[in-house]
Amino acid sequence: MRCARFTGMVAGMLSRIRLLVGIVMGVFKSGGLHNPSPRSSTTDDKETLISPRPPPELNDDATAEILLRLSSDEPAYLVRASLVCKTWYQILSDPAFNRRYRKFHGAPPLLGFFHNINYDSRMNPVPHFIPTTTTAIRCSPPVFTLKDWWFLDCRHDRVLMESVGRIIVWDLITNRQKHLPVPRQRYYWEPVTAAVLCAKDGCDHLNCNRDSFLVVSIGNNYTNNFIWVRVYSSETNAWSKVIRTTIPQFSFVDMRPSLLVRDAFYFSIENGRQILKYDLGGQCLSIIDGPGEPRGIVVIADDGGLGFASVEGYDLRLWSQHVGISGIMEWVQCRVIELGTLLQIPAQLFAIDVIGFAEAARTIFISTNVGIFILDLNSNAVRNVGMTGAYHAAVPYTSYYTPGNSRMPTFTT
């Protein structure tokens, strides 16, 4: 039914455009606006109207310009449009059109999120991928059971998973999987968290090279009080040497997704009390003090730099770093968003937590007793996208899901 409505809507739009094109062409051919008064018949006294010529058909270039403007936030629009006719499918599946579409719309849209709980509060199985659009991506897990696997990170069309030292990089759109080799130094192997990113020089990350990527693996050594990092390169199919830095006793890296800001990764320590920075260019580790909030996540600030988000009561507090009077970086609270009114949640609700952040979409994931909400920091638009549950972290997945680069999806109701 939705497909029929969509087809009817587009067909009506194209009909109006064809009529407009015909009128405009008639104006130009006549050298200006002509008088549309009816012509009289000479055979009788009745005035007869002469039917106008049918407007010309839209060519492929004009059709492509219209399809180019379909919203990227809902992949179902493109997929349904590709089913209208063969010509539209050929346009939409053309790699050149897909490149133009990505460039026109910019950052890839949020398609959903992964999580690491297997059952809800009633012990019913829970799907590990929750879509945030009406397009339900067909997930073909790279393993037989996901109960033993942990979703670590998603970025640049890739999903990073780990299980007892085994790491998989999974391309959800093409279903290609890469099992990373186990390094010889297994002592520095099993990660607490990790990050994945495209490694192609000069890539705008709108249509990444799927064969070139890096994995940054982070782990704790509780006995000797240090954090270690090592980096895998798909170009060499090998891991780098271990880099480490000392931390206070009993400190730990959170099992939450990373944040990529410019040329550095950030990982939260003890719910954001401190922040671990790994500089990709300098290949070095450093530790930054958080803003002093009891619990929160790292986010991208409004100015594009490192930010922090925390919840106090019903308020979402957003922080950013600025250079203070003494020349030292300081945390400054830049925005406060009142969640009670925005989410329209009952007054007795008490469990609110921030559990994830989508870099490309600048969207925060908020866990509550009545479901998972996503909040767009650019527009303050909010909606409920998931069921209730003990979500520790949401791992957002952003990508372009178009007829030319993906398997055909199904649609949720």
**Secondary structure (H, E, C), 179-237:** ECCCCCCHHHCCCCEEEEEECCCCCCCCCCCCCCEEEEEEEEECCCCEEEEEEEECCCC
* CATH number assigned to the domain comprising residue 185: 2.120.10.30
Q: Which DSSP string corresponds to 308-331?
A: EEEEETTEEEEEEEEE-TTSSEEE
Average pLDDT, the chain: 80
Question: Can you name the residues that pair with 166 across neighbouring β-strands?
Answer: 163
Q: Does 64 lie in the same domain as 115?
A: no
Global pTM? 0.80
**What is the number of domains present in the chain?**
2
Find the mean pLDDT for residues 95-106.
91
d(CA 65, CA 48) in angstroms, rounded, equals 39
The answer to whether residue 133 is domain-embedded is yes
Q: Does 125 lie in the same domain as 69?
A: no
d(CA 352, CA 108) in angstroms, rounded, equals 28
Q: Does 221 lie in the same domain as 80?
A: no
The answer to whether residue 50 is domain-embedded is no
Q: Which of 76, 105, 134 is the last residue of a domain?
A: 105
Least confident of 136-140, 180-184, 382-386, 406-410: 406-410
Question: Can you name the residues that pair with 318 across neighbouring β-strands?
Answer: 309, 335
Does residue 274 carry a pLDDT above 50?
A: yes
The answer to whether residue 46 is domain-embedded is no
Q: How many CB atoms are located within 10 Å of the residue 75 CB? A: 25
Q: Does 120 lie in the same domain as 92?
A: no
Q: Which of 73, 105, 137 is the last residue of a domain?
A: 105
Percent of the chain whose pLDDT exceeds 90: 34
Q: Does 369 lie in the same domain as 338?
A: yes
The answer to whether residue 37 is domain-embedded is no
Structural domain span for residue 205: 110-411
Question: What does the pLDDT read at residue 22?
Answer: 42
Q: Does 168 lie in the same domain as 77?
A: no
Q: Does 114 lie in the same domain as 99?
A: no
d(CA 137, CA 160) in angstroms, rounded, equals 17
The answer to whether residue 16 is domain-embedded is yes
The answer to whether residue 172 is domain-embedded is yes
Q: How many CB atoms are located within 10 Å of the residue 115 CB? A: 24
Find the mean pLDDT for residues 328-340.
90
Q: Does 325 lie in the same domain as 245?
A: yes
- CA-based radius of gyration for the chain: 27
Find the mean pLDDT for residues 304-319.
92
The answer to whether residue 143 is domain-embedded is yes
Largest CA distance in the chain: 107
Q: Does 140 lie in the same domain as 86?
A: no
d(CA 76, CA 135) in angstroms, rounded, equals 5
Q: Which of 215, 213, 282, 200 is nearest to 245 (CA)?
A: 282
Q: What is the tens place of the pLDDT at every residue in 57-94?
A: 777 888 889 899 998 888 888 888 888 888 899 999 89
- What residues have CB less than 8 Å from 88, skipping those under 6 apart? 63, 67, 81, 82
Question: What does the pLDDT read at residue 410?
Answer: 43
Tally of helices (H runs) and strands (E runs) in the chain: 6, 26
Q: Does 118 lie in the same domain as 96?
A: no
Q: Does 376 lie in the same domain as 337?
A: yes
Q: Which of 80, 105, 130 is the last residue of a domain?
A: 105
The answer to whether residue 176 is domain-embedded is yes
Q: Does 99 lie in the same domain as 127?
A: no
- Answer yes or no: are the C-beta atoms of 306 and 323 closer than 8 Å: no
